[in-house]
Structure 1
Amino acid sequence: MNPFFRILFIFLSGLSFHALDAQEWTRVAPGIWKASVGAIPDISLLRAAGAEPNLEALEQLPEVEFPLPTDRISLEVIDGQVHLRFPLEREEELYGLGLQFKTHNQRGRIMELHVDHYGGADNGRTHAPVPFYVSTAGYGVLVDAARYLTVYAGTAIRVEADDPPLLQDRNTDKQWAAQPYSDAVEILVPAAGTEVYIFGGPSMLKAVQRYNLFNGGGCLPPKWGLGFTQRVPTLYSDSDILQEVADFADHDFPLDFIGVEPGWHSMAYPCTFEWDEGRFPDPKGFLEKLRERGVRANLWLNPYLSPRGSMYPEIKPLSGSHTVWNGLVPDFTLEKARQLYKDHFTEHHIDLGVSGYKIDEVDGYDRWVWPDVATFPSGTSAEEMRQIYGLMVQRMTADWFREKNRRTYGLVRASNAGASSFPYVVYNDYYSHKDFITALINSSFIGVLWTPEVRASKTSEEWLRRMQSVCFSPMAMLNAWADGTKPWTFPEVEDEVRAVAQLRMRLLPYLYTAFARYRSEGIPPFRAMQLWENSDFRSEQRGGNLSSDRNPYGEYASKEIRYQYLMGDAMLVAPMFEGEESRSVVLPPGKWYDFYTGAYVGAGEVITVTPGLDQIPLFVRDGGIVPMIASRNQMPGPDEILPLEIRHYGQSPGSSRLYDDDGTTFDYERGAFSWADLRVKRQGNQLRGSMRIDNPEFFHYREAVNWVFMTRP
């Protein structure tokens, strides 16, 4: 290199871009601002996701001012890397920063946000390391960088801190802590530039809504996707699967779609994406037989192409330098690679009647996924590809179904920022029931869905408790790929398992409306207690005393509201775990009632419940309205008109809305949908219910409603 240019390069590399002025934060949507620092790369998380903001919905949210003091925000490039700093006040708590399984409040943690299989520690390496956090002060921050970000979430203390910690003497101060107070979130981005977004509130929920709506709004699954799914053993044939469907009917158990595991491929790990002729000699005929029984098929895959696959010669020059299980890693940033997969999958799967996919192995482990020294023909780095690969596969497969005007709903092993609108639920091989619930709660902060699937249990009690939880999650799934378990594997609780599965089916109108609000308003259908509007659920700080055996550095711990969450606009879910006869439940402000009986249980307090083995504790707010249908084993088709039962809880008047459309197509985007206003008013000493329907031609419930007032005067 010419000495002059070498000196110039060294000089430029050391330049810093200091704190941006207020004018440099550009308002890009209502309540959302963006700033850029350094050289912006072509690849980012939001570009990979490709979502279009729902500006019309964003305009319906309250107007807010820029939520942070701009003079305390710093965006700099130092030594070729981006250094970001955002202020923190003393009482703030931080939520989000990826799909974590053990903790909620992330303040005081250091995390490397890195797409990976979850390894049992909340260190940022996880299936959806979304670099978005939301604060109890009512704002959110997103770093749109497809890199391994290091986040110091209130841990680093600068010499010139705006609000320095108190000086403590460990010799004399029993409250001394190894981690002093920090007044900032600092983030290291290993890139020469990035874009940053700030989302206003004024509440945490509103900030989350803005984030989801900026990414297109939440997904609206097909109705059948909200039914029950059984994933069958790996080497099941077409006849085995048809027998499985018959067994579900014999046991009077709900079933809407079947998960077909790796054995459908002529070769898996790596995959051919072509049917095994021995197990599936007539794929189209098999899929037609399933549909005759009201059941759809969801195919397992990982995207790595076997040398035995017919696409191999064409995909090889469009793939990375390294393989996964000897399979090619297609570079899906290239249009030609996407088109080849689209043509193949459409011809061999979608046009035959396949309804969705389970996208496996797009997360990690480091020892088998492509290494960071890999190269790709587009010039995308291996690190960037790791962070966006799950996004790209979700996006392209969802687009294939959209072009056919058919909704899909599937599973994915990795996701990231910008995925709110994708019809996929994240899953993994980890199997802690309690941690599954923590992940379900945390998913609501970061614009992804998570399912706590059931695979196996040691006891009938554990089996039932797990089944209860999955029936109150985004996807009710039993994954029997390894051991062939059935919902009735423990006969002693078969009736109870069936009852909770059928309760999920009965709640279709309520659950479908919750997803419709996710799409149109950005409100997660399952969400954390912190996202209950007009409430202030904080973690209780504990610890800090010196101890030679268990706490030698006097660090503080966070006692959080654990293992309970909100479903829709009126219900609170509090799962039970094996070995528990009772549990505590934290009720939000206002009166709350037992879902099953309508009895009053408390108001803004901590209660203890003893539900028995056959029930998952469910509660409804005062004035809450819960629309339901009759028990059934499959979700309704687009032409069915169903009777409607609408329950009201408590003594207060109430109002709610009920959404409906055909449940299978995207015609709702062209106006083929309906909203019904549900109201309960007091007339004298009695409560009376009414329903007013917009666009009744798209409403698939009878107008004559059975109103049920669950709480006696």
Structure 2
Amino acid sequence: MHHLRQHGLGLWLLALLLLGACATQGPTSDQNHWQSGDYRLSLGERGLDIEYRGEVFATIDSFEFNFVKGTITELVKPSGSSDGQARLDVVLEGEDGYTHDFPERLRVMVTQENGRFHFEASHPGFHHIGINLVDRDEHYFGLLEKLYPDNRKSPDLRGETVTVDVYHQGERDYAENYASAFSAFYISSAGYGSFFDTFAKGEYRFAQSGLTHVYHQTDALDWYLIHGPTGQRIHRRYYEVIGEPKSVPLWALGPVVWRDYNTGKAEILSDLEHFSALRIPLTATFVDRPYSDGGHEWSKMNFTEAFADPEEWIGTINRDYGMEVMSWVGPMTFGDTDFPGLLPNHRTYIDLTDPEALVEFERRLQTLQYDVGIRGHKMDRADENFPMTALWHEPVPESQTRNTYVYLYSKVIDQFLRGAHGDNQFNFARAAYHRTQPFLSAVWGGDVRPNWQGMAGNLANAMRVGFMGFPVWGSDTGGYLGDGRIDEKLYARWLQWGAWNGMFEIKLDGIGGQGEDRVPWHYSERLQAVFREAAEQRMAMIPYSYSLANTSASNGVLMKPMAYVYPNDEHTYDLWDQYLFGEAFLVAPMLSPDDQRSVYLPAGHWYDFYDLTRAFDGKRTLSVTAEFDRIPVFVRGNSLYVTGDIYRGSDRRWRGPLEQGRLILHALPGRPGQDTVFTYVDALDGDREKRMTLTRSVNEVTLQTPALTVPSVVRLRLDQAPAQVWLNGARTEATYDAERKILALPLSAGQDIELRVTL
């Protein structure tokens, strides 16, 4: 027995020695796996599989450096590294023929944090970086706002080749409304987001010959692969990389009106007086070019004689109408050379890396605009005819100039506004690129055509912007191009849709002031009623939209595309003509003169926004009819939203100043076992985030909310009268409207609330 035990031990030691010998010769298959929490990398026949809890959601076939393919041969966890770090050994299959000492092997470092994989590699000779991913029969969304290709409205880019570089020129772009938002970011229906952190231009080829190819003309691999079951979750981790989106003030979320051409201050004040006479509430206006002296009636950045004494008339708008005023700005002087730091040999664009230029730019805006009450800007022209080859004060590679300039424009204007007004300011731009989100309040959808096709195309633009992760988007309601007056039904439908945009801004005239004005008093009383209802609805929704805009870092974009919320539902991939506004509302704009359209309701339970007694099961397509005064809107079951009166703009002229606000908490319980959360940002309590919860069991509904600063009313949608109602542990009485299926209960301000309703 003793001899046998010795023999067994000898075999065991021999096995260990053999394993050690194999380890010195190279990694075994077991060594080509790396576990980091719930995530795992595995090197297999098709490439590098990336798994979450045993399910592969992405596979990297190979990398490319200067167009030379790099095959992943080893996956190693470096000694002494954390559990969130690994290394890929990549063998390059040749040379580029140009680079001295081109490497034969390369190390790609990988870090994993909370489902976000970061791949990094560099070499002095690299100028072009590519990534090849195995196509998993997935669908791809993002990268650009333009309707690509050929004005196609579907957001699904599967099978397409897309250039990522801010540009607007060309006849096709004219048809596409000059949409100019871009990003090196896309979302896949397989459950991940791809972000290449560079300003260099790129090209993406989706699902071609079995691969998806990501390419940028840059010198380093700086790429993120972000796992998430929905667009919201992916964006949450994306914002942790690029920074949280910019906060938005209350006044910017109400109705905003403007003219493309103002004759002067008298016209602005006259417009506001007419709106007040019609009792159509507004919260802001902006003055578009021309209003200044100098090149293109802008370069001096002052107010001309027609707008003399701006502190007086802007003060009147602030004081008497409760509204804020913004202005148009551009990053160019249009041939006026009386400005330091213009780009050499292209003396019209301001060099935003030149310290002298920035000092003068800020000085003019501060003394001539901010000091007299301008609170924000419409930012234009960064995407037009930009000189790619100009030499900057701080050199930028030609491949990065257009995208970098758009980023700097947003950053610089935000710094100027923040220095003058802190957080109480707003800026919105036509051109945007990734990493502008912390500096840009909103994107506006370009110079849209004032017809049904223009409105439809603009909605498709909005969906693409949502996938890219720009939280607040708005249309030029009524359209930009053309001579002013538009068809009354088109105007009504655009207003009704605009009220459900991230930003609601309405144009009142034709391009350059041509043709008849588009002011509501030049239309029928029927249109005026639609205008008023849209504006009043927008005002009532300010508590909700303010909360959405200022929690977008965790809750995603305001106008959520259908595939963003339901990536596993193949019916959503081509949908562009409906979306979710926040988590609660499904909005389906009317995009033709017809009063009928189809609406797809995803899985779940849905209610008619205008009549909560009308309920619908999801996973079905409805044919709906919309009267002149409304568009189809549905409320999702298992949702919470807040409306109310917390801000007065021009409506203070007939309603009086706001003395004490009032909120309405709308609660639509889900099925038994479901719960939901809404984060209310209390603007009247220092913007504190207050987490409201709604839960449903078989026989009970519970609503909990932290103390609110104003009185409120709960409106709880129930199919039947409750058996009992309990408020903070004490039984109480509530009113149940059996016809409307609504239980109503007033709540006092200043105390935490737990409402329990037994059924």
Task: Give the TM-score taking structure 1 as reference length.
Answer: 0.76
- Give the superposition deviation at 1:595: 0.7
1 CA distance for matches of 2:180 and 2:408?
Answer: 14
Question: Could you tell me which residue of structure 2 aligns to residue 468 of structure 1?
Answer: 496
SS at 1:660's partner residue?
A: strand
Q: Could you report, residue by residue, the CA deviation over 1:474-513 in whole angstroms, capped at 9, with x for unpaired residues?
A: 1111123534322444313211221122111111122112
2 CA distance for matches of 1:250 and 1:230?
Answer: 15
Report the CA distance shift for 1:612/1:274 in structure 2 as closer, same or farther (over 3 A).
same
| Contact 2:445–2:458 (CA under 8 A) maintained in structure 1 | no
Question: Could you tell me which residue of structure 1 aligns to residue 424 of structure 2?
Answer: 407
SS at 1:332's partner residue?
A: coil
- Give the superposition deviation at 1:363: 0.9
1 CA distance for matches of 2:67 and 2:520?
Answer: 62
| Contact 2:177–2:448 (CA under 8 A) maintained in structure 1 | no
Q: Could you report, residue by residue, the CA deviation over 1:585-634 in whole angstroms, capped at 9, with x for unpaired residues?
A: 11121111111110103322111111212111111111322221159862
| Contact 1:97–1:106 (CA under 8 A) maintained in structure 2 | no
1 CA distance for matches of 2:506 and 2:195?
Answer: 34
| Contact 1:287–1:297 (CA under 8 A) maintained in structure 2 | yes
| Contact 1:228–1:254 (CA under 8 A) maintained in structure 2 | yes
2 CA distance for matches of 1:430 and 1:378?
Answer: 35
Question: Could you tell me which residue of structure 1 aligns to residue 251 of structure 2?
Answer: 224
Report the CA distance shift for 1:646/1:522 in structure 2 as closer, same or farther (over 3 A).
closer
Q: Is 1:106 aligned with 2:114?
A: no
Question: Could you tell me which residue of structure 2 aligns to residue 424 of structure 1?
Answer: 442
Larger Rg: 2
- Give the superposition deviation at 1:263: 2.2
| Contact 1:34–1:198 (CA under 8 A) maintained in structure 2 | no
Report the CA distance shift for 1:133/1:658 in structure 2 as closer, same or farther (over 3 A).
closer
Computed over aligned residues only, the root mean square deviation of the Cα atoms, in angstroms, reads: 3.7
Q: Is 1:205 aligned with 2:236?
A: no
SS at 2:70's partner residue?
A: coil
- Give the superposition deviation at 1:148: 2.6
Question: Amino acid of the residue matched to residue 415 of structure 2?
Answer: D
1 CA distance for matches of 2:141 and 2:571?
Answer: 11
2 CA distance for matches of 1:188 and 1:433?
Answer: 33
2 CA distance for matches of 1:81 and 1:307?
Answer: 35
Question: Could you tell me which residue of structure 2 aligns to residue 613 of structure 1?
Answer: 628
Q: Is 1:657 aligned with 2:689?
A: no
Of residues 287, 309, 315 in structure 2, which corresponds to 1:260? Answer: 287
Q: Could you report, residue by residue, the CA deviation over 1:653-681 in whole angstroms, capped at 9, with x for unpaired residues?
A: 75433423447xxx96xxx5241525366
| Contact 1:114–1:124 (CA under 8 A) maintained in structure 2 | no
- Give the superposition deviation at 1:439: 1.2
Of residues 586, 589, 593 in structure 1, which corresponds to 2:600? Answer: 586
Report the CA distance shift for 1:374/1:677 in structure 2 as closer, same or farther (over 3 A).
same
Residue ranges of structure 1 left out of the alignment (5+ in a row): 1-12, 39-57, 156-181, 541-558
Of residues 343, 348, 357 in structure 2, which corresponds to 1:320? Answer: 343
- Give the superposition deviation at 1:572: 0.8
| Contact 2:648–2:658 (CA under 8 A) maintained in structure 1 | no
SS at 2:247's partner residue?
A: coil
Q: Could you report, residue by residue, the CA deviation over 1:123-142 in whole angstroms, capped at 9, with x for unpaired residues?
A: 99951221111111111112
Question: Amino acid of the residue matched to residue 221 of structure 1?
Answer: V
1 CA distance for matches of 2:619 and 2:544?
Answer: 24
Report the CA distance shift for 1:330/1:378 in structure 2 as closer, same or farther (over 3 A).
same
Question: Could you tell me which residue of structure 1 aligns to residue 750 of structure 2?
Answer: none
Question: Could you tell me which residue of structure 2 aligns to residue 434 of structure 1?
Answer: 456
Of residues 665, 671, 678 in structure 2, which corresponds to 1:646? Answer: 665
Q: Is 1:287 aligned with 2:287?
A: no
Q: Could you report, residue by residue, the CA deviation over 1:636-655 in whole angstroms, capped at 9, with x for unpaired residues?
A: 99985311122233664754
Question: Amino acid of the residue matched to residue 97 of structure 1?
Answer: L
Q: Is 1:153 aligned with 2:153?
A: no
SS at 1:355's partner residue?
A: strand
Report the CA distance shift for 1:402/1:635 in structure 2 as closer, same or farther (over 3 A).
farther
Q: Is 1:272 aligned with 2:299?
A: yes
Report the CA distance shift for 1:278/1:627 in structure 2 as closer, same or farther (over 3 A).
same
- Give the superposition deviation at 1:397: 1.5
Q: Is 1:538 aligned with 2:595?
A: no
Report the CA distance shift for 1:302/1:24 in structure 2 as closer, same or farther (over 3 A).
farther
2 CA distance for matches of 1:29 and 1:413?
Answer: 43
Higher strand share: 2
Of residues 342, 350, 355 in structure 2, which corresponds to 1:330? Answer: 350
| Contact 1:18–1:75 (CA under 8 A) maintained in structure 2 | no
Q: Is 1:707 aligned with 2:715?
A: yes
SS at 1:210's partner residue?
A: helix
Report the CA distance shift for 1:381/1:430 in structure 2 as closer, same or farther (over 3 A).
farther
SS at 2:155's partner residue?
A: coil
Question: Could you tell me which residue of structure 2 aligns to residue 341 of structure 1?
Answer: 361
Question: Could you tell me which residue of structure 1 aligns to residue 278 of structure 2?
Answer: 251
2 CA distance for matches of 1:688 and 1:676?
Answer: 14
Q: Could you report, residue by residue, the CA deviation over 1:419-470 in whole angstroms, capped at 9, with x for unpaired residues?
A: 2222132331132111111111111111224322223563211111111111
Question: Could you tell me which residue of structure 2 aligns to residue 135 of structure 1?
Answer: 188
SS at 1:386's partner residue?
A: helix
Question: Could you tell me which residue of structure 2 aligns to residue 171 of structure 1?
Answer: none
Could you tell me the percent identity over the aligned residues?
Answer: 19
| Contact 1:332–1:338 (CA under 8 A) maintained in structure 2 | yes
Q: Could you report, residue by residue, the CA deviation over 1:222-253 in whole angstroms, capped at 9, with x for unpaired residues?
A: 01000011112423211211111111111111
Report the CA distance shift for 1:383/1:244 in structure 2 as closer, same or farther (over 3 A).
farther
Report the CA distance shift for 1:577/1:373 in structure 2 as closer, same or farther (over 3 A).
same
Question: Amino acid of the residue matched to residue 460 of structure 1?
Answer: E
| Contact 1:625–1:654 (CA under 8 A) maintained in structure 2 | no
Between 288-297 and 185-194, report the one with greater CA deviation: 185-194
Equivalent pairs, count:
601
Residue ranges of structure 2 left out of the alignment (5+ in a row): 1-64, 93-111, 148-152, 720-739, 742-759
SS at 1:279's partner residue?
A: helix
2 CA distance for matches of 1:427 and 1:233?
Answer: 15
Question: RCO greater where, 1 or 2, for CA within 8 Å and sep 6 or more?
Answer: 1
Report the CA distance shift for 1:94/1:78 in structure 2 as closer, same or farther (over 3 A).
farther
SS at 1:647's partner residue?
A: strand
Report the CA distance shift for 1:503/1:34 in structure 2 as closer, same or farther (over 3 A).
farther
Q: Is 1:89 aligned with 2:105?
A: no
Q: Could you report, residue by residue, the CA deviation over 1:234-284 in whole angstroms, capped at 9, with x for unpaired residues?
A: 232112111111111111112111110112211352732432431122121
Q: Could you report, residue by residue, the CA deviation over 1:147-204 in whole angstroms, capped at 9, with x for unpaired residues?
A: 331221222xxxxxxxxxxxxxxxxxxxxxxxxxx22222332344452222222444
Question: Amino acid of the residue matched to residue 691 of structure 1?
Answer: T
Q: Could you report, residue by residue, the CA deviation over 1:488-541 in whole angstroms, capped at 9, with x for unpaired residues?
A: 44313211221122111111122112112203x1511111111226x513269x
2 CA distance for matches of 1:687 and 1:227?
Answer: 33
| Contact 1:95–1:104 (CA under 8 A) maintained in structure 2 | yes
2 CA distance for matches of 1:650 and 1:29?
Answer: 44
SS at 1:18's partner residue?
A: strand
Report the CA distance shift for 1:516/1:32 in structure 2 as closer, same or farther (over 3 A).
farther
- Give the superposition deviation at 1:387: 1.3
2 CA distance for matches of 1:505 and 1:185?
Answer: 45
| Contact 1:654–1:680 (CA under 8 A) maintained in structure 2 | yes
Question: Could you tell me which residue of structure 1 aligns to residue 692 of structure 2?
Answer: 677
1 CA distance for matches of 2:355 and 2:669?
Answer: 56
Q: Could you report, residue by residue, the CA deviation over 1:353-407 in whole angstroms, capped at 9, with x for unpaired residues?
A: 111011111112xxxx233333223222454221122221111221223233232
